[in-house]
Amino acid sequence: MEAFDQLLAQAPARIDLAGDLDALATLEAELVGKKSLIAETRRGLGRLPAEERPVVGARVHEVLRSLQELLDHRRSVLERVAEDRLLEQDRVDVSLGGYEPSIGMHHILTQTVDEVVDIFTGLGYRVASGPEVELAWYNFDALNTPPTHPSRLESDTLYVEYGDPSDEMLLRTHTSPMQARYMEQNDPPVYVVVPGRTFRADALDPTHSPVFYQIEGLAVDENITFGDLKGTLAHFAREFFGSERKIRLMPHFFPFTEPSAEMHMSCYACDGSGCRVCSGSGWIELIGCGMVDPNVLDAVGYDSSKLSGFAFGMGAERMAMVRHGINHIKHFYENDIRVLRQFT
């Protein structure tokens, strides 16, 4: 009986100290479980004298009921605490805005091509496209490129079918084949830009890639002069790079234009005074261009005695690198989200 009195005296404080349901379950097993004082006393009732059994049995029942009430009360408190904690963790602030998925964006090369094309469509040019797997006749012969030209070697050009010149097929090395294709299918006048992917057997370095994007331009009409070419490219440079940009045309050679030139633009970084970007010259090489060779007009059935024209070609990667100060062409193809996010 004294042990029961001591147990009841200590139990409330011990039960109140149980900090969670697991601790309470451990204490409950100790107080009223199979190895508790109450269980042992119950098992020993048969060994007591007959007159003591009712008294001890009644005391055991009273102690068990008291302990169970204390345990049940503490359990209800801890269950409420656990539920409140769970509700707090799962709480939703309905005043917050809804989830907004991240918005996609055009790749910087797509942005560049679209902007260049928009400048020329604003001048009345149409947009055309052609096959990436091209006949050698359109890629070379129709563009006045002789069979002995070094660009036709397998070391420079990626051939699909190679051998018979009449049916050689290749991955186009430029978008210029659309000059011949478009003129074959359309009567003059012709004002067209051709954006597209091109392929060459080049090793990857900071400014070259075996796959790159080019934008071809062609204008054929009566009385087109070299001055029209220069004015068109000057307008493009001002629209794309800024109104303060100046251009100059330097003599060059391309098989399908005569005369041919390279367009240089005043350096955006130093305004022409000379810096690391322009290698101290004050100018940046950007575009190949020239007057359409009469042989190209004759090859598609145009009358070269009445018509003239100019053509130009630019690399989209080159335009983007110069405009945004990108130092390696690989950044366009590695899909590094840190790079792409700069051009949202």
pLDDT tens, residue by residue, 123-174: 999 999 999 999 999 999 999 999 889 998 888 999 998 777 668 899 999 9
223-257 pLDDT, tens per residue? 999 999 999 999 999 999 988 888 999 999 999 99
Q: How many CB atoms lie within 10 A of CB 167?
A: 11
| pLDDT for 166 | 67
Identify the pLDDT of residue 165. Answer: 64
pLDDT of 281 over the 70 cut? yes
Kindly indicate the confidence band of residue 340, based on its pLDDT and cuts at 50, 70 and 90.
confident
The CATH number of domain 108-343 is 3.40.50.20: no
Q: What is the pLDDT of residue 301?
A: 94
Report pLDDT digits (tens) over 12-36: 888 888 888 888 888 888 888 888 8
What distance in Å separates the CA atoms of residue 202 and residue 171, rounded to the nearest whole number?
A: 13
Q: What is the pTM of this model?
A: 0.69
Question: pLDDT digits over 54-82, tens only?
Answer: 887 888 788 888 888 888 898 898 888 88
For residue 87, what pLDDT is reported? 81
Q: What is the DSSP string of 258-305?
A: EEEEEEEEE-TTTTTS--TTTTTSSEEEEEEEEEEPHHHHHHTT--TT
